[in-house]
Amino acid sequence: MTSENKQTGAEPGDSTTGESAGAPNRQEGAMERRDGVPGGPAGEPNGRADVSEREVAELVGRLTESGDMNGAERRQLLGRLTATLAKGSKKAKEAGIGRGRWLADVFTAVAPRIPVRDLATLSEHHHGLTSEDLADDLVRTAAKATMTVGAIGGALAAAEFAAPPLLLSAPAQLVAETLVVAAIEVKLLAELHEVYGVPVPGTGTQRAMVFVSAWSKQRGVDPLSPATVSVALGAATKTALRNRLMRTLGRHLTTLGPFLTGAVAGGALNRAATRKLAQAVRADLRINRALPPRKS
């Protein structure tokens, strides 16, 4: 996974301590070399990713960041992501690829490009917080970010109900919401491992798959397991990922409720799910690394 020095996906002021959008650059957000190939995920010829995959990865990456992005820009990016995914979904259907498998393949291509901050950068962006206080703030910010995605999706769906022909884009919109929420949560999970000092070995792609595997199981990574990387790249992980993504996709059906009811429901469900994930992951991480107590 790439490392970066930007904030997790929520608006400024989402954090109770108010994250700093103008923190000085300390780590470049460029893509890591993965498995010896510059650019795209392992297995792509000469490191050249499909154009649509690169665009999806770029859009998802931007939607997981906060910075000074306003609601209008977020809606525009989600709309672009929806349009790109609609084309990819059509091609996959024509090729006889099931939605679950296609969705998992897309997210597998996106995952190594999710920007993850190191501990020093996290503390800087959260006004010097450390230990459990920093973890708390990361969770609050991520939960607000996934809630925002659900709310934006619900608002777009409400507009589509006012113009029925646009409902044709609804399935792709749900996929877009699902990918962004999954990326925000994987980013949160990876950054919680940074806070708790639980290292994950491997290349950029391997580490990304370990975190994706942990997300699909809604658990923290066990650093004592010698097969962590190999298991994360196996068939069982792909199946678990597909199932988790489809469950998340199903949750976003609530955003299709009329008159902005979907916005409220989608946002609330996303926030609750992100908090539940964080609680489970932190419980696992505390087994391996107990942090100093909170500052009084």
Q: What pLDDT shows up at residue 66?
A: 60
Name which of 111, 80, 105 is nearest 91 in CA terms. Answer: 105
Look up residue 226 and give its two tokens. Answer: 């010698």
The contacts of residue 29 (CB under 8 Å, 6+ apart) are: 2, 3, 4, 5, 6, 115
Q: Which span out of 41-50, 81-90, 113-122, 283-292 was modeled with the highest average pLDDT?
A: 113-122
- Band (pLDDT 50/70/90 cuts) for residue 264 is low
Q: Per-residue pLDDT tens for 221-253?
A: 987 776 677 777 788 889 999 999 999 988 877
Residue 255's pLDDT is what? 66
Longest CA–CA separation in the chain, Å:
60
User: 188 or 83, which is more confident?
Assistant: 188
Q: Give the tens place of pLDDT for each residue, 65-77.
A: 866 678 788 888 9
> CA-CA distance, 149 to 185, in Å (whole number)?
12
Rounded CA separation 139/115 (Å): 16
pLDDT at 8: 38
pLDDT score for 58: 92
